[in-house]
Chains A and B, each alone.
Chain A
Amino acid sequence: MVTTLIGHIDSDCFYVSCERIRSYSLRGVPCGVLGNQGACVIAKSYELKAYGVKTGHPIWEAKKLCPHAVFVKRDFRWYEVISRRLLDLLKTVSPLVEYYSIDEMFFDASELQRYFQLPLEAATRALQTLVQEEVGVPVSIGIAPSRTLAKLGSDAAKPFGVQVIERDCEQFLRKQPVGELCGIGSRSERKLRDRNIHTCWDYRQADRLLIRNLLTIKGEALWWELRGDAVSSIQTTRPPHKAIARGGSCGGKTMDADRIRAWAVRNIERLIEALDHHRVYARHISLQIDANKTALWLGRTPLAVPSASFRMIYDAVMPMLAAAPTTHPVSHMHIIAENLTWRDRIQKSLFFEDAQSPLDQIKRDINQKLGRFAIRSAETLPLHEIYHDATHNYDICDISGKMCF
């Protein structure tokens, strides 16, 4: 559907704001939310940011920068509850809403004035107030003729601001460095800088074919979007996955073979859950091992038939794990299902086992009834401290329906 105005709503320090909803004592306090292992700051309040603490800082550095900061354990289930409250509220205001990420949403803003019976900027402020009152999180909102401009607007309006951008927005674009554009990374920024393109206005004024040559069709799409011509529309449903991955940190560096196998099995079980949720089978399985972010090892194995069977994926992963170099301690691991196919679109085989065995189905049924990992492989026993703490059982990637991470 073509929309004349697109809104982008972005929550300010979302995880901290969610924690502040249920803990009044955190309001105004320099506060950091810690990641899965309790080691790194994954979100920080503006009060903590003022001390120079950045996302990704380890806690031992963060506490030196701000000794009186308070650190909170992450709770992705709670963040999802708040995120969906925001999504539901936005759906009452707008006919089209895209669940872009846990704290960002695009929406059709063409009905905003009529809904609030106010001029556009006042209506946007009214929406901001409504979100603050109903959901409890502060948000910044950008309204523009295209997604890229709307996102630029909300980013520029942070914290707790609104920005309405019209098609002719030279003054605004002149103030925005080109690196602020979603889709322009450091390498693209360097290429543009070499061509004397420093601001978003420079980008918009540049020759379209030059941009296309430099940054392919994606760069050209941004060029159109900066001119106010919406290239990408609001997507209300997530497109099918090209690949699904599960993994992450191994809770610190380890060379213990039993623990490494246990992490691999945990990630296989999480991956099968995701394949079940999305109703797909995998044709290829890849294993990526990261040794302290210095050495990377990647293996890829085709499966005999499209599958989501524990046995089949296990048999694909374990030889790759055995072949991986053991000279470096492992810090991160990812298991990736690729070449996905819908479950109802596969040819059944006479020669291979079913894509999921009765044991897989029993395991899934029991875990759905009794809770995640109620039944799990005995090979995960070395990770007793992870399973002992139920909050480890729900990660940000388990929040379904988002367009991106």
Chain B
Amino acid sequence: MCTGITIAWRDIPTRLIRKHQLDERIIQRSETADKEILFMQRHRQPLLPVFYQGELQILPWGNRHRHNNAPLAWWCELATLQSGAWSLYHPEPVEILANFGLERGVWFQIREGIQGAIIHDQHEQPCVYMLLQPASHYYQVMTGYHREPVFLGEQI
């Protein structure tokens, strides 16, 4: 499962960087490379940058709190979503913005982004779930994992 993504630091507005203290998450792969902001599933507060309701927002990645009535997960199988199993949560589509993704220690390029689903819990707090699908042969060889995110406008 894709356990982390990064997005270029210059793509995130300063107000969002300040609001979510994203400065702590800045990485740089080399001296000449652009700064990136890291979003990992294992972070204490897992977050994802998403394009939702016409603007860039930083929202919680999945749900880890049992008292919330949103599914206790970080990812959502596309087939499960299409079967209607999540319909009681009223999921909405959302675009997760990313330049690079991490899967089993392999960083790979993401051209446009990843499809996600957004669910609001009983307190109307949003949770974003990354959509997954069976991995292509290429992705499976590259990362060694049998499921891949649902990418926007491409197939790895």
Contacts and interface: CB of A to CB of B under 8 A. Distances in A.
Pairing of A with B = yes
Interface of A: 19, 23-30, 34, 37-39, 47, 59-60, 63, 67-73, 251-252, 385-386, 388-392
A23 B109 contact: yes
A37 B105 contact: no
Of B105, B138, B142, the most chain A CB neighbours within 10 A belong to B138
A37 B31 contact: no
Contacts of B100: 25, 70
A27 B54 CA distance: 29
A29 B28 CA distance: 9
A71 B106 contact: yes
Given A39-B141, A389-B136, A71 B29 contact: no
Contact of B138 (A19, A37, A60, A67): A37
B140 to A, nearest CB: 8
Contact of B107 (A60, A69, A385, A389): A69
Which 8 residue pairs spanning A and B have beta carbons closest together? A28-B32, A28-B33, A385-B137, A38-B142, A38-B141, A38-B138, A25-B99, A70-B107
Contacts of A38: 137-142
Given A28-B34, A389-B136, A37 B108 contact: no
Contacts of A28: 29-34
Given A69-B107, A70-B108, A72-B108, A389 B31 contact: no
B6 to A, nearest CB: 9
Contacts of B8: 25
Given A38-B142, A72-B108, A72-B109, A47 B30 contact: yes
Given A29-B29, A63-B105, A389-B136, A71 B155 contact: no
B156 A73 contact: yes
B106 A27 contact: no
Given A29-B29, A70-B100, A389 B155 contact: yes
Contact of A251 (B36, B137, B144, B156): B137
Contacts of B34: 24-25, 27-29
A251 B141 CA distance: 9
Interface string B79-119: 00000000000000000000110000111110100000000
A26 B99 CA distance: 9
Contacts of A19: 109
Contacts, number: 87
Interface in B113-156: 136-142, 144, 155-156
Contacts of A251: 137, 141
Contacts of B32: 27-28, 47
A73 B111 CA distance: 11
Given A28-B31, A63-B105, A23 B138 contact: no
A31 B105 CA distance: 14
Contacts of A68: 27, 29, 107
Contacts of A24: 34
Contacts of A71: 106-109, 142
Of A29, A37, A392, the most chain B CB neighbours within 10 A belong to A29
A37 B137 CA distance: 8
A59 B29 contact: no
B136 A385 contact: yes
B29 A70 contact: yes
Given A25-B99, A38-B142, A386 B137 contact: yes
A26 B107 contact: no
A391 B155 CA distance: 9
Nearest to B111: A23
28 contacts: A23-B99, A23-B111, A25-B99, A25-B109, A27-B32, A29-B30, A29-B33, A30-B30, A34-B142, A37-B138, A38-B137, A38-B140, A38-B141, A47-B30, A47-B32, A59-B106, A59-B142, A60-B144, A63-B106, A68-B27, A69-B107, A70-B29, A70-B100, A71-B109, A385-B137, A388-B136, A391-B138, A392-B138
Contacts of B36: 25
Contacts of A59: 106, 142
A383 B106 CA distance: 25
Contacts of A63: 105-106
Given A24-B34, A68-B27, 8 more contacts: A28-B34, A60-B144, A63-B106, A70-B100, A70-B107, A71-B109, A389-B138, A389-B155
Contact of B137 (A26, A30, A389): A389
Nearest to B137: A385
A28 B30 CA distance: 6
Nearest to A60: B144
A37 B141 contact: yes
Nearest to A69: B107
A19 B142 CA distance: 18
A73 B30 contact: no
Of B30, B34, B99, B136, the most chain A CB neighbours within 10 A belong to B30
Contacts of B140: 38
A273 B42 CA distance: 50
A337 B88 CA distance: 60
